[in-house]
Amino acid sequence: MKVMNFVSPEAKIGKNVKIWHFAYVGSNTTIGDNVKIGSLAHVDYNVQIGSGTMIEGGVYIPPLSRIGKNVFIGPAAVLTNDPYPPSKKMIGVTIEDGAVIGARAVIKAGVTVGKRGVVAMGAVVTKDVPAGKVVMGVPARVAYTRKEFDAKMKVWENSRP
């Protein structure tokens, strides 16, 4: 069985990019070096993705979105581009360098996730996420800092299974 992806001939793909099974990359999209795009991900047209970013399976990234460098987007996260669907005007989501988006998070059109910001799994983000802050909940609210997040991750990684 032949596994199919669709990558537009108008897309600009960097070096060492890995695109897994059944993924879609639209026209006029630019993807930096060392990016990984998981199975069933949909990266629409006119999207920019910075180097070192990892996009897990089932993610939807709409037109006009801007993703920075070294970003992680967890499985089935959804970014939107129409705050009042179905309007005739769209705006993308901006995710700045080093941010983390948890699984199944939903981010409203026009929102910016600041540098090293974290969106918890399942969060619904309707407002900008400040740089270096962790948001969670529905609607998402600031819960703690990225420094605290990194400390919790380190404790988790060093704990016994």
The pLDDT tens digits of the residues spanning 31-78 come to 999 999 999 999 999 999 999 999 999 999 999 999 999 999 999 999
Residue (of 104, 10, 109, 94) closest to 59 by Cα position:
104
Cα gap 9→17, rounded to integer Å: 15
pLDDT of residue 3: 63
pLDDT band at 161 (very low <50, low <70, confident <90, very high): confident
Whole-angstrom distance, CA of residue 61 vs CA of residue 43:
5
- Contacts of residue 122, defined as CB under 8 A and 6 or more positions apart, other chains included, come to 102, 103, 104, 105, 138
In degrees and rounded to multiples of 5, residue 153 shows phi and psi of: -65, -40
Is the pLDDT at 6 greater than 70, yes or no?
A: yes
Instruction: Please determine, for residue 2, whether its predicted confidence score (pLDDT) is greater than 70.
Output: no
Q: Which domains does the chain have, with CATH numbers?
A: 6-158 (2.160.10.10)
- Give the whole-angstrom CA distance, residue 6 versus residue 22: 7
Q: What is the pTM of this model?
A: 0.95
**Which pLDDT score, from 0 to 100, does residue 5 have?**
84
The residue type found at 138 is V
Residue 54 zone, left/alpha/beta (φ > 0; ψ -120 to 50; rest): beta
Q: What's the rounded Cα separation, in Å, for the pair 150 and 144?
A: 11
Q: What is the dihedral of CA 74, 19, 33, 91, to 10 degrees?
A: -60
